[in-house]
Amino acid sequence: MKKVLIIGNFHQLGQKVYDKLSNQYEVNLLDNIDFEDARAFADNLAGVNVIYTFLGPLDVDLQIGAVIQALDRVNPPLEQFIMLSTAGIDNELTEEVTYPNVDNNKEYLNQQRYAVKLVDEYEIPYTILRPVEIVDEQKGELDVIDEGISMQYGRVSADNVANTAAKVVKYQQFINQSIGLIER
């Protein structure tokens, strides 16, 4: 049975994915730890095949750096890494954006880009989820936007983000892709 580690619970996404996967996989959710301390992850990485990170919005570069350090120490049989990032890291948004709870867009996007680079350079199959503003209620149908394609700023429900994240593992969708998520 695959062992899945979910790190963080930004916008309750960790819990939502846990609920979707726990009937098929051995799943552990880490929520109340120091996400910048690599030692905090070590005991939970043994035997892990899949990592999800739902961290942020700020300092995600430091947090992903700590995860990578812990992975290097433990060396689990990791097969996939799924990371929550944000729309805008590839300059794909067609308009100026104000991110919720972010004072400095430039620094925020640089942190996100660096975290994605760390995951990409780890050289295992990955999926980067780039939602626009995450909201509680669904507003419409989900659009999945490929990397490099322009997209508008808008909203996407936490349920649609969680469903997409679960599909990555369940159906091996969106492997080695960075996808924008928005509802129309």
| Contact criterion met (CB below 8 Å) for 14 and 51 | no
Least reliable range by pLDDT among 19-28, 79-88, 131-140:
131-140
What is the rounded average pLDDT of the residues 18-24?
97
Tokens of 131: 């939602």
Average pLDDT, the chain: 96
pTM for the whole structure: 0.96
Which amino acid is it at 5? L
Exposure string for 122-155, b = 16+ CB within 10 A, e = fewer = beebbbbbbbbebbeeeeeebbebeeeeebebbb
What confidence category does residue 139 fall into, taking pLDDT thresholds of 50, 70 and 90?
confident
52 or 138, higher pLDDT: 52
Q: Write out pLDDT tens, residues 92-119.
A: 999 989 898 899 999 999 999 999 999 9
- Sheet with 126-131, side-by-side order of all strands: 26-30, 3-7, 50-53, 80-84, 126-131, 177-183, 142-146
